[in-house]
Structure 1
């Protein structure tokens, strides 16, 4: 992105995409790059869209479920298009290492009609990102760069290229009958989008990112990290003379001509892809239109699962079984003399103030004459689900604790006590709280304010005082003032290590008739440790443009 002359970047942090944002944020403190941690992914995409509409290059970064939040502007932005290059990074999380689902975001490219690229290596991720900006400007459309956890959390050699200077100022040309999506305009824009998809398919057919290797009659089609597993299996099994591989990197629109040529060269085809049968379904459709009757399979019994990740052993095993090839079992390292290491499941950090808040809530709840339901949210405090805390009963997505509490309060007689973190509250908790006040729901919302977006690496949010890190140009938003402005009739602020006062305040909030909010304020213990040790990662910097010279 830096090599491509990125001018404006925006994100809401979420694993496995968070490290991209951290690096761009740090670079922005030293250069003319503008980068922000937006309130949520929808806002991040809108910031990037407006910058691209002004002719400068922009990028927004999010994890896969973040694209759900940004889907509303995404779908219409595909109609309106862009002037400057715009790249949308969507980081999928197969096996759900740090996510509530493992949705396959390739379907967003199909749904929106936007071009999509999928890197298979670290250096390819760099090169594809740079290419994506050029492609975006060529097609006048945003481009989705879809990665997965194994790409995002890998390291490898990268060949750097010259850095393009930032375009200092954009220009917005008023054209309301092309850029204001009212029905009469959108009808015309939809026609244009379909024409752009056809243009993109021509580019995809000639793309260097769609690579065919080998001359065998047994075909393998793969994408992303799966290409590495396939390559390893071919080498280990010594079957390169029998196999022909099509690695698809420009995956939407699919390179239909390339795929047809590949199918015609094969007697049998195996599709190797993580997640849903996205490639498989479309390639089978292409083959059917061709009248081709060779076996084409990927997901199914004795083949690949739609669940979780692929890994080299699985890919190797399916290749030998599907094609009827001989293959010895891989050598397994003897670990019989290695002592067993005790398991260490995720848990709240030592000294985490959330434990103290949960303890106070549990003690206060015992004074009630009815059971308690605890809707929770996305953040470190989600780990309150584990024993002995057992402080989580229901969770869907970011911000859902408040909205689901409204539903529980009408369907149940139990007391409803919800948990939400400070960053998540700004992200998507506010509308739910407004709904609760407007409709007079019976619930208590505990806002766990630890002064950071802790779970993804201590990124800032609107409630953070940025001046503590000598960073200017920010305005801190008070959660208390915001809650009061919404009209919440009962508000209490506690310090969870003041145990008796906290329990008393919670008891009072639980007895209140209507909506009550308790704000538990205590800085994240990891930030406190860093500050005491003088290890704060945020240091005052002098802006320069040396990266772009």
Structure 2
């Protein structure tokens, strides 16, 4: 989960999914606990014949720590599926039995989670703080040793265990990120004992916690802490520096061309580096993976008369875009789909995908042809072109614009980072200051390698040699660098 939505579309709390499904959920508060929980998650799954939801938040995922590995258990079991239709063929007759069994497992699951030690408590005074996940690490860092503490790292919570802890205190404070999952259980068993938290307005429902915020919430309730944090003075307003695409990124060139050809269009987009096309004015919607095509199709079916051009990466298209394309073709949606094929899953670390010709383990396999895949879905207009050649790419977009129904343009060009790692050197471009008129056409293109110096454009060492700026300049003031 991603409190504060550092790189997500929402601040969902997966503990709610676990509660809905009535399956165990493990919520680590440290790197060590994450390691231990993952090991135990497999054992729990085997023991109760259920999935186990492992829920690390962003802070845990981005943390590093020494970890005690313990003994590595070796398994000699041979992979062999055991047929059990009553368990795995979920027809109504089986569902009724399975639902009853699921409910019957709950007391044993709660007891087992307490035995594992992920839900633990320490009575130290008349007031108690109940916490869980990474918030527990913050609480342990700042809480005075005269305040009792209960740590919740596993769900469902054993209500008997929790009730026994709560009844020893005069009031309870619950500190957790996002949804009041712990707080709701606490309120169910607290009886007349006062409970403070999200539902009383003392802890926010949204955002990420931090030690200084936790101290503020606790001190406002009269809970002693061992640390004080000075009031942070907001710095003077700084220029906004939003994240941008790399110098030489093919996505920038493709989106520049889309904006030129479909000037008044609507631009649904998707999840990937190209979402940064928002800065270029070529991203109107980004909801979830694969939604670019389905949103575009829905707009067309609703009667939108403007041109609809959606963008989706090759990896995202293969992951969740194919079904949307098939649906758009079936319903004869009037849309243009631009598949931004940079030959890799770039945003998440350059993992391979079915078009790259090898698996994640490096095993060679036949690459999937995006062209053949789109044609097999019934798309009649499918063209592949490099967006680095702006004139040719814009020409293909104009052809697509004139065609009825669903059109697919595959913008194919390797990721610039992949090229650098492969030691591909395209040279670089320079601005001739005696020709440049300072019109800022290249500046507006948004490449971080181009900047303004003394009113004239200048290309820095960030240049990757894509040559897009050469094609954009209206006075031919840009040329390839010639080394003596």
Fold match by TM threshold 0.5: yes
Contact between 2:268 and 2:311, CA under 8 Å: does it hold in 1?
Answer: yes
Contact between 1:205 and 1:256, CA under 8 Å: does it hold in 2?
Answer: no
The one-character-per-residue Cα deviations of 1:356-393 (angstroms, maximum 9, x if unpaired) are 10111122224xxxx3100010100000011xx10011
Aligned length: 424
1:244 matched residue in structure 2: 148
Matched, 1:260 2:163: yes
The secondary structure found in structure 2 opposite 1:206 is helix
1:321 matched residue in structure 2: 220
2:481 matched residue in structure 1: none
| Bigger radius of gyration among the two | 2
Query: How big is the shift at 1:165?
Result: 2.5
Question: Which residue of 20, 25, 31 maps to 1:122?
Answer: 31
Question: Which residue of 347, 350, 367 maps to 2:244?
Answer: 347
CA distance in 1, matches of 2:233, 2:5: 29
Contact between 2:132 and 2:175, CA under 8 Å: does it hold in 1?
Answer: yes
Matched, 1:379 2:276: no
Residues 222 and 464 (structure 1 numbering): CA distance in 2 closer, same or farther, change over 3 Å?
A: same
Matched, 1:523 2:414: yes
2:289 matched residue in structure 1: 398
Within-5 A mapping of 1:389-538: 389-411=280-302, 412-466=304-358, 471-472=362-363, 474-532=365-423
1:275 matched residue in structure 2: 178
The secondary structure found in structure 1 opposite 2:366 is coil
Within-5 A mapping of 1:30-429: 92-167=1-76, 169-234=78-143, 239-241=144-146, 243-250=147-154, 252-287=155-190, 292-300=191-199, 303-323=202-222, 325=224, 329-331=228-230, 344-366=241-263, 371-386=264-279, 389-411=280-302, 412-429=304-321
The secondary structure found in structure 2 opposite 1:133 is helix
The secondary structure found in structure 2 opposite 1:466 is coil
Residues 207 and 516 (structure 1 numbering): CA distance in 2 closer, same or farther, change over 3 Å?
A: same
Name stretches of at least 5 consecutive residues in structure 2 with no aligned partner. 426-484
TM (norm. structure 2) is 0.83
Contact between 1:402 and 1:429, CA under 8 Å: does it hold in 2?
Answer: yes
RMSD of aligned alpha carbons: 2.3
Residues 119 and 393 (structure 1 numbering): CA distance in 2 closer, same or farther, change over 3 Å?
A: same
- Per residue, is there more helix in 1 or in 2? 1
The one-character-per-residue Cα deviations of 1:179-213 (angstroms, maximum 9, x if unpaired) are 21111111111111111222102213433111212
CA distance in 2, matches of 1:365, 1:408: 16
2:459 matched residue in structure 1: none
CA distance in 1, matches of 2:231, 2:422: 46
The one-character-per-residue Cα deviations of 1:276-328 (angstroms, maximum 9, x if unpaired) are 111111211122xxxx2111121156511111101111111111111365888
1:540 matched residue in structure 2: none
Residues 202 and 334 (structure 1 numbering): CA distance in 2 closer, same or farther, change over 3 Å?
A: closer
Residues 334 and 202 (structure 1 numbering): CA distance in 2 closer, same or farther, change over 3 Å?
A: closer
Query: How big is the shift at 1:175?
Result: 2.2
Higher relative contact order (CA 8 A, sep 6+): 1
Query: How big is the shift at 1:169?
Result: 2.0
The secondary structure found in structure 2 opposite 1:286 is helix
Residues 340 and 393 (structure 1 numbering): CA distance in 2 closer, same or farther, change over 3 Å?
A: closer
Contact between 1:205 and 1:257, CA under 8 Å: does it hold in 2?
Answer: no
CA distance in 2, matches of 1:380, 1:333: 33
The secondary structure found in structure 1 opposite 2:422 is helix
Contact between 2:218 and 2:225, CA under 8 Å: does it hold in 1?
Answer: no
Query: How big is the shift at 1:330?
Result: 2.1
Contact between 2:311 and 2:340, CA under 8 Å: does it hold in 1?
Answer: yes
Which segment drifts farther, 376-385 or 137-146? 137-146
CA distance in 2, matches of 1:211, 1:177: 37
Name stretches of at least 5 consecutive residues in structure 1 with no aligned partner. 1-91, 535-549
CA distance in 1, matches of 2:66, 2:322: 44
